[in-house]
Structure 1
Amino acid sequence: MTYAYDPELAPWIEMFPQTPLTDIELVRQSESDLIADVPVYEPPIPLDVRDLEVPGPQGDPQVPVRVYKPADADGTLPGLLYLHGGGFVLGSVAMFDSHAARIAAEVGAVVVSVEYRLAPEHPFPAGFEDCYAALLWTAAHAAELGIDLKRLGVGGESAGGGLAAAVALVARDRGGPALCFQLLGIPELDDRLDTVSMRAFTDTPLWNRPNAELSWDYYLGAGVRGTEGVSPYAAPARAEDLSGLPRAYVTTCEFDPLRDEGLAYAQRLLQAGVSTELHHYPGTFHGSALVEDADVTQRMIADQLGALRRGLRAALPTSKA
């Protein structure tokens, strides 16, 4: 099919790797090569960055996290548990370092980025439980991290957006830390793969229906996706009750197979009484934000940072001369 991509994005499409998820190791290497070519974010203010290991789920290994904090901060700051993307099988804290650093520097927040376990080596619920364990640790250590517990949120992109939605659900259901905000960027939410966009976009760059099928098969196990009994903590679109969740910011891209599940989830949040802001970006595709110089990407970044400042009630940080 041909798609009306944003003119600033279209020339870049042929440069993106088109490796299917059938060979996980090859795709992981291709992703590493791609990210290595992306300019490194230079924060406008000094950041303190620490790599730690925190207690994992009971009986499981510790969870590596990277903590970002404005170095010259006075008093407590909002906090954000950040969950990277990658279809549950790709990505890492290092690959999404610039995303987390930008939020810490330009929102003025303490960001805890989680190195959760990946499928297929570690299928659901491993990665999800790692993320929730990291949230529990963050809340328990809020004082030493300099986080105001009343301004603690969760967020992520793609699979990380789906994990963020799941963490918000489980925090509500298990009586966990009270979250004030959830950032769901182009979220992967529904294993049933039955939306119009998921059926239509079989050949879009970086993410398409064939990759989505493999992603869920790796995460849930072969033969599980689309069947009865899949946990809403794996596929938050299956949650029957979305009431009582933190306010949300949801983004979708026009030529992304995940588009319609994101739109539907945002609508259901609103119907459940959850204050929700939805931004849909025309001419974009899943991962098109890698083209940082494009006007639409700059809008996406600015919109997200603004939503985080509002959602976390954060003051705009200023650099010190």
Structure 2
Amino acid sequence: MTLRLVLGTLDTVAALVTARRITTLRRALTAVAPELRHPVLYLPLNLTNAATLAVGRRLPAVGSAIRPGIRAEKTTITATDPALNVVTYQAPARSKPSGALLWIHGGGTVMGTLRQGHAWCSRVADELGALVVSVDYRLAPENPYPAGLNDCYRALHWLHDNATKLGIDPARIAVGGDSAGGGLAAVLAQRAHDTGLPVCFQLLVYPMLDDRTVLRAEAPDRTVYTWTPTSNRFAWTAYLGHPPQERDDRPYTAAARRANLTGLPPAWIGVGDLDLFHPENIGYARRLREAGVECELRVEPGMYHGADALFDGKAPSMTAFRTSMLDSLRAALTNP
């Protein structure tokens, strides 16, 4: 009888806690644009350890359909060790030489696959007539910094070294990515600048730019979704090989750590005002402009991290968000 009473009490407490959490989330959801509200926002999605990472890596990819008529081919770059896989996307009638986009998928540097970029990469190939190359970089924690960045740099070098064979103009190669991919694209643009490897544009979609965000307390009334401070701490710790700290003198660990942004290629940065990365994205855009780098900044009201992947083609704001990405890239690849 006592055990039943205890179990009953625990069930009641659990129900009250769940109800209170749902009520709190419903209040917080009033900040989310009505057209972007989704059941996923009620889920406690946090990366905390190897077990939750394993679950995250098994989640299905959003936006995995390749546009009809676009040829997607896997290529293995074997010039250096280890071998690196990329997927190229192109329209069969692509005019050569064309511009090119090196795309880097998101996933906090700890998860994500090439498949999740199929829809976007094939759209760029279709509508811009560009060659798109998506890089299958190594993930942390199995392969911490600088493995992933080195893979992206090798892919960019491969594009330049094989420009004639690939039918692309080496003066019209852009880099881009979303979330962690955007962060890698930003440091890749920095490294390419320092080594004399031309990049004409950087397309940074709610990029993961600053590991020091982990060290800063969130405002108590600020609610973020899908990519949380807990997940951010886990991912940066996995990528860096240690917990983030104020001082880290290793080059290219995080784009926001670079003191001098002068001479970097023009950029487009897009982020929602409910995104964990909103402050660091705004700060980086401001610093680029102060350094004389042309930077278009798009801040989407009521948008959380990754909402465009969930609602592209379904919500007008997200359709407009991705159209802005495409238009900026088109201008860059046409007039580098």
TM-score normalised by L of structure 1: 0.88
The answer to whether the 8 Å contact 2:215/2:245 transfers is no
Change (3 A) 1:107 1:74: closer
- Counterpart-to-counterpart distance in 2, 1:187 and 1:83: 11
The residue that corresponds to 1:18 in the other structure is 44
Task: Structure 2 unaligned segments of length 5 or more: list them.
Answer: 1-23
Q: How does 1:80-229 map to 2 (within 5 A)?
A: 80-175=101-196, 177-193=197-213, 199=219, 204-223=224-243, 225-229=244-248
Distance in 2 between the 1:131 and 1:222 partners?
A: 22
Q: Distance in 2 between matches of 1:194 and 1:26?
A: 19
Q: Partner of 1:48 in structure 2?
A: 71
1:13 is displaced (CA, Å) by 3.4
Matches of 1:47 and 1:201 in 2, distance apart? 45
Give unmatched runs, 5+ long, in structure 1. 315-321
Q: Secondary structure at the match of 2:87?
A: strand
Counterparts of 2:33 and 2:289, CA distance in 1: 29
1:241 has 2:268 as partner: no
Kindly indicate whether the alpha-carbon contact (under 8 Å) linking 2:101 and 2:175 is maintained by their aligned counterparts in 1. Answer: yes
Residue of structure 2 equivalent to 1:9: 36
Where does 1:25-64 land on structure 2 (aligned, <5 Å)? Answer: 26-30=52-56, 32-35=58-61, 38=62, 40-41=64-65, 43=67, 46-55=69-78, 60-64=81-85
Amino acid at match of 1:48: R
Tell me by how many angstroms 1:173 deviates.
0.9
Q: Which amino acid aligns with 1:10?
A: R
% identical equivalent positions:
37
Q: 1:268 to 1:197 in 2, by over 3 A?
A: farther
**229, 252, 256: which one aligns with 2:271:** 252
Greater fraction of residues in helix = 2
Larger-gyration structure (1/2): 2
How far, CA to CA, are the matches of 1:39 and 1:189 in structure 2?
Answer: 24
Q: Please state how far the C-alpha of 1:250 moved relative to its aligned partner.
A: 0.5
Structure-1 separation of matches of 2:163 and 2:54: 34
1:134 offset after TM fit, Å? Answer: 0.6
Deviations 1:72-92 (A, max 9, x none): 122211011100000010111
Q: Does 1:280 align with 2:299?
A: yes
For residues 216-259 of structure 1, the C-alpha deviation after alignment (integer angstroms, 9 at most, x for no partner) is: 10110223x12312435111100011011111000111111101
| Cα offset, 1:42, TM superposition | 5.2
Alignment of 1:63-74 (within 5 A): 63-74=84-95
Q: Take 1:197 and 1:303, find their aligned partners in 2: how far apart are those partners?
A: 32
C-alpha contact (below 8 Å) 2:267/2:294 kept by paired residues: yes
By how many angstroms is 1:31 displaced? 5.4
CA distance in 2 between partners of 1:102 and 1:28 (Å): 30
Contact 2:223/2:274 (CA < 8 Å) preserved in 1?
no
Deviates more, 1:26-35 or 1:257-266: 26-35
- The farther-off stretch of 194-203 and 70-79 is 194-203
* Secondary structure, aligned partner of 1:18: coil
Counterpart in 1 of 2:289? 270
Greater alpha carbon shift after TM alignment, 271-280 vs 24-33: 24-33
Query: Residue 268 of structure 2 aligns to a residue in which SS?
Result: strand
Matches of 1:51 and 1:61 in 2, distance apart? 16
Residue 245 of structure 1 aligns to which amino acid in structure 2?
Answer: L
Provide the alpha-carbon RMSD of the alignment.
2.2
Give the 3-state SS of the residue equivalent to 1:8 in structure 2.
helix
Aligned length: 306
